[in-house]
Amino acid sequence: MPPVTSLDDAKRLVESFPGRPEDFVLALSDELLDPFGMNMAIIMDRVLARGWAPNGFEQQQGFREYRYKMLKE
């Protein structure tokens, strides 16, 4: 799957993923990584609402692949 270039697409992918967070990879174009982190804050709001937590990322050429895990209670 190509990297996501739209904030709306990123939110939709997080909200609609039917599986476990460990199976989800969100590839975000560097275009979405704004200097103030607003786009990531909006995406993280959706991630946390699902009960997920960040589990690292890998920088690729022109995009990052973000991984997630379940929040511990």
Query: In this predicted structure, what is the pLDDT of residue 72?
Result: 81
Q: Rounded to an integer, what distance in angstroms lies between the CA atom of residue 2 and that of residue 73?
A: 33
Q: What pLDDT tens digit does each residue of the chain (73 aa) get?
A: 789 999 999 999 999 999 999 999 999 999 999 999 999 999 999 999 999 999 999 999 999 999 999 998 6
